[in-house]
Amino acid sequence: MRNRFMWALVLVWLFGTFASTGLATVNESSNDISSAGISTSKVDAFKAALTKDGFTVTEWTYGKVDVARLVCLGALETGYANNAGGNYLAITNNVQGTMVASEFQLAPNDAIVIIGHTPPPVAYFSYRSYLFKRQYEGESVPRTLFASLGDTVNNLTIKTEGTANANPNPYNQNVFIVSTADRGVDAQVRSLAMGAGFSPDIMNTDVIPSSVVKLGKGSDFDSFVFLNRITLPAYGHVQEFNNYMQNPGMTVLYLNQPSMATPLDPYPTPMLRVRGTGMTEADLMPSLEELRKAIIDKYPGYEPTEFTTQIWLNEWLDGIQRKENILAEIRDTSYLRTTDDFQLAADNPDEFLIIYGVNHQATGKATYSSFSIYQKDKDLGISAVNSPVFAGSAIDYIPNNDNAPYLYAWKAARNCGNDPQCLKIELPEYLQPCTKVDLNKPLFVGFRAYLEPATAVGPNPAELLYDQVILFKKPSIRIDKALLPMRR
């Protein structure tokens, strides 16, 4: 366990000061953002080769999507369980001055090509297409499923010129991603790209499994979105990260072949990366119980209410089979949440949460982990704390426990006073006032643990000790009228 903790300290040092999804139909529009690191002439040569080979090439836009802002503007009814501590880029449209993730359809031999460069050093990034809506027989409107379609291209698996050596570096690297359902189309696009001067070392495929989706154009066929998650800039790279989010420098090409002269060669559904290593966090249970007791003992005179934590979101195939909105889940993380909702008074410092548990980053089960406070009605992430921030916080409660560095304990309230280890539950200042989101309504806590380094996918929840939440409130003062003096 100590070796794991030393590795965790390295991660915390690297990411120690770590400083979302609207949907609209795609418009045919030019992307005025050039691909940094890849010359315009190379992109133009590639487009010309595609056109000569029978593709119709349309440029789409790509940019930052601020989920909370879209909900506050009324452009979205739900936050789709957004990660309040994360950031989102997407294939987008600009709707009334706001970047909104685009909803699009694909024919069986269509492809989308994304050309640009990866973000600066961050804890996590990924690219993935999603099944967004499906029309079911006998239903008047399509259902939102928002299901990922398998594993992502992420910072531990991506192919770039920087990852093709013994010391892989996926950051600030040229990248070329083909999103398609057809193996033949993928090979055709890659061949044309190499002819235009692109290196095969930077080429990745986001496979859309044709056996799972309904490809085609029109109301009977599925619609899709494409998301790029990016979280936690490394120390010294915050400004570079902010610049990248404002101008990611990606060129997006939608490729359509009017003719089906070439026989289709659909990709089979790729094998999934296997979650889990067999190593659990179970040996930390006694220390976690000691932490629980220390937390309760620290607040005498308060009534503690302990919530149960359970698995929140299952995986994509589960949602598709149950015909349920699975809220843009991704295989790169685990999802837990409190089973009970709660409410906190806005100005009462005597109503607060203590959120505690295992720091999954410190145990080596995750690249980073986090908790977010959600407004239930909107499934909107309001505010969050990530593992580099809460690392070591349990030592204040159990200073003599050798396992304290693997645990955390953090306060959350709507009125934090001057407590530096307290998350204030409020929307960012630039979104206030937000009449669409009422924080007086029920809230809940969600937990994520991203990318187990050994597997390059999210950890198996069965190997984790679940994060926990205790609600503290001062008991109401009740006056027994029988004991009051009688008026004469």
Instruction: Using pLDDT thresholds of 50, 70 and 90, give the confidence band for residue 487.
Output: low
Looking at the chain, the whole-number percentage of residues with pLDDT higher than 70 is 90
DSSP string, 182-209: BHHHHHHHHHHHHHTT--GGGEEEEE--
Q: Does residue 150 or residue 38 have the better pLDDT?
A: 150
Spatial separation of the C-alpha atoms in residues 161 and 173, rounded to whole Å: 7
Amino acid at position 124, single letter: Y
Residue 65: what residue type? V
d(CA 237, CA 122): 8
Residues of 31-43 as b/e, b for ≥16 C-beta within 10 angstroms? Answer: bebebeebeeeeb
pLDDT tens digits for range 402-454: 999 999 999 999 999 999 999 999 999 999 999 999 999 999 999 999 999 99
- CA 27, CA 15: separation in Å to the nearest integer? 38
Average pLDDT of span 461-482: 86
**Distance separating alpha carbons of residues 40 and 85, to the nearest angstrom:** 34
CB contact at 8 A, 468 and 353: no
Give the whole-angstrom CA distance, residue 65 versus residue 21: 6
Residues whose CB falls within 8 Å of the CB of residue 216, separated by 6 or more in sequence, listed in order: 105, 107, 108
Q: Check: CB of residue 466 under 8 Å from CB of residue 448.
A: no
| Among candidate residues 88, 410, 27, the one with its CA nearest the CA of residue 254 | 27
Q: State residue 258's pLDDT score.
A: 80
Q: What is the mean pLDDT of the chain?
A: 91
Residue 262 confidence class, pLDDT cut points 50, 70, 90: confident
> Which percentage of the chain shows pLDDT scores above 90?
85
User: Distance between CA atoms of 418 and 438, rounded to whole angstroms?
Assistant: 24
CA-based end-to-end distance of the chain: 72
pTM (predicted TM-score): 0.90
Q: Residues 66-122: pLDDT tens digits?
A: 999 999 999 999 999 999 989 999 999 887 778 899 999 999 999 999 999 999 999
Token output for 479: 């006056």
| pLDDT recorded at residue 3 | 46
CB 56 within 8 A of CB 255: yes
Neighbour count for residue 440 (Cβ, 10 Å): 11
Q: 283-473 maps to which CATH number?
A: 2.60.120
Backbone angles phi, psi at 211, to 5 degrees: -75, -15
Is pLDDT at 239 greater than 70 in this prediction? Answer: yes
Q: Do 464 and 358 form a contact (C-beta atoms < 8 A)?
A: yes
pLDDT for position 261: 65
Contacts for 267 with CB less than 8 Å, ≥ 6 apart = 180, 181, 182, 183, 186, 207, 208, 209, 210
476 has a pLDDT exceeding 90:
no
More confident residue, 13 or 130: 130
Closest CA to 232 of 384, 64, 19: 19
Mean pLDDT of 295-321: 97
Alpha-helical runs (H) found in 373-460: 387-390
Neighbours of 104 (CB within 10 A): 21
Start-end ranges of CATH 2.60.120 in the chain? 283-473
The token pair that represents 7 in the structure block:
């590795």
pLDDT digits (tens, 9 = 90+) for 1-30: 544 444 443 344 344 433 333 355 554 443
DSSP three-state, residue 430: helix
Averaged pLDDT for residues 205-227 = 97
Strands 87-95 and 333-338: unpaired
**Rounded distance, CA 450 to CA 383, Å?**
18
Q: How many of the other CB atoms lie within 10 Å of CB of 455?
A: 16
